[in-house]
Each structure stands twice: as C-alpha cells, then as structure tokens.
C-alpha cells in the first residue's frame, strides 16, 4: 500500500489500465488489468486478488452481517454477501481460493453522536476481518478506523493499492449518501411481504 501525495502519482498508477468506479453496495472483479476505485466513509472496501492468476476485485460494504430480507435488491451492501460474491466472482475468473490475499480499508468513525464502539464503521471492520480469518484468506495490508474518509485505487493484476485521505470537507456528503441508503434498506425491510397462496 502507498499512502502518498496525489501529485503525479494517480496518473502513473492508472496509466494503460482500464478503470472502474464502484459505489456503496457494489463490487467488481476482472482478469483484465483494471484500476478499481472507490470513496469510503464508514464503509469498508476489501480488495482480494490472486497474484499468480493476476485476477482481483474489490467490494464496498455498507453494513456488517447479511440481510434478513431476501428480496432486497442491493444485498451486496451487507458484508457477508459482498465477501462471498466477490470471492466467487474471482474464482469464476480463474482465481484459486488457496492463493487469495486481501487488503482491507475504511471503517472511519464519522458520526460523533454515536460512540466509536457502536459505530457502523467499527462493526464493518470486525465483520470483514472475521470473515477473512474464518475463510483463511490472509490480510497482508490494512488501513482501518480513524476519522477521515479515504479514496482507494486498487490494481487487480498486481494487488497494489494507492490510498488518499480525503479532506473532512467531503464528510457531510459521504454521511448523507450512507444515511440515504441505510434509510432505503430500512424501508425495504419494513415493507410488508407479498403473500402467495398455494392450492
């Protein structure tokens, strides 16, 4: 991982590679050399890759655990789903589970009205790390917690990550985006389920 100034570094990092931006609840994996990038607040991004096969991918986790509402259309916002789907996608592209390595980022504490221990960032961190430990996927680099948003650039073919800490002026927008999606999830969960009658 490189925690370096932006000046000139991003252009070199991204040169001659396809680029893909992912947002909350999304994931992407590729066999073609690609730079996947995302902006993180309390969310966590896990970069998983197989250096021998030169396959890798990243997810963007909003919530820990797994959804209790099966029909929700962005179930990949949840940690366990996002992890399982990313691993399966990488293996489907030729990655070998026994060779997978991980780098984990994010989980900042952005809401001072909530204690750090009860914040979603801390819970996302624990969810991701516990999952990787249980699945015996080695974490070789991490930058987690703290109070600042991060922008992450991940090279799928080499596993390299460029991290930039984002000025706190962007925090309100990030918090608003995360809260909006959390509200949508809550509405979906509380919506009455449809009834099917079997005769």
Average pLDDT score over residue span 71-90: 80
Q: What is the structure's pLDDT at 118?
A: 74
What CA–CA distance (Å, rounded) separates 76 from 59? 8
Average pLDDT score over residue span 90-100: 98
Average pLDDT score over residue span 22-45: 95
List, in sequence order, every beta strand (DSSP E) within the chain: 2-3, 18-21, 27-30, 34-40, 44-50, 55-59, 101-106, 138-144, 150-155, 161-165
Q: What is the structure's pLDDT at 197?
A: 42
pTM here is: 0.80
Average pLDDT score over residue span 119-143: 95
> At the topology level of CATH, where does 2-190 sit?
60s Ribosomal Protein L30; Chain: A; (3.30.1330)
Question: Tell me: the pLDDT tens digits for 31-41?
Answer: 999 999 999 99
Q: What is the structure's pLDDT at 199?
A: 41
Residue 43 designated active-site: yes
Instruction: Say which residues have a Cβ less than 8 Å from residue 94's Cβ, sequence separation at least 6.
Output: 31, 50, 53, 55
Question: Tell me, what DSSP letter sits at residue 78?
Answer: B
Say which of 29, 40, 43, 108 is annotated catalytic: 43
What CA–CA distance (Å, rounded) separates 51 from 1? 15
Q: For the chain, give every domain's residue range.
A: 2-190
N-terminal to C-terminal alpha carbon distance within the chain: 59
Q: What is the structure's pLDDT at 11?
A: 65
């Amino acid at each position: 991982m490189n925690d370096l100034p932006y000046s000139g570094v991003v252009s070199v990092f991204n040169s001659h590679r396809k680029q893909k931006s992912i947002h909350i609840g999304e994931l992407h994996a590729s066999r073609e050399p690609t730079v996947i990038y995302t902006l993180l607040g309390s969310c966590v991004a896990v970069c998983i890759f197989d250096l021998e096969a030169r396959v890798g991918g990243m997810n963007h986790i909003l919530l820990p655990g797994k959804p209790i509402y099966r029909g929700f259309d962005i179930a990949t916002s949840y940690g366990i789903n996002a992890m399982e789907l990313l691993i399966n996608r990488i293996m489907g592209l030729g990655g070998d589970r026994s060779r997978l390595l991980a780098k984990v980022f994010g989980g900042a504490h952005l809401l001072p009205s909530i204690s750090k221990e009860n914040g979603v960032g801390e819970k996302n961190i624990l969810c991701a790390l516990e999952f990787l430990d249980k699945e015996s996927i080695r974490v070789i680099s991490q930058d987690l917690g703290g109070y600042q948003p991060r922008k992450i650039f991940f090279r799928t073919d080499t596993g390299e990550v460029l991290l930039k800490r984002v000025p706190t002026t962007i925090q309100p927008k990030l918090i608003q985006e995360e809260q909006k999606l959390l509200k949508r999830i809550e509405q979906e969960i509380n919506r009455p389920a449809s009834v099917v009658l079997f005769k």
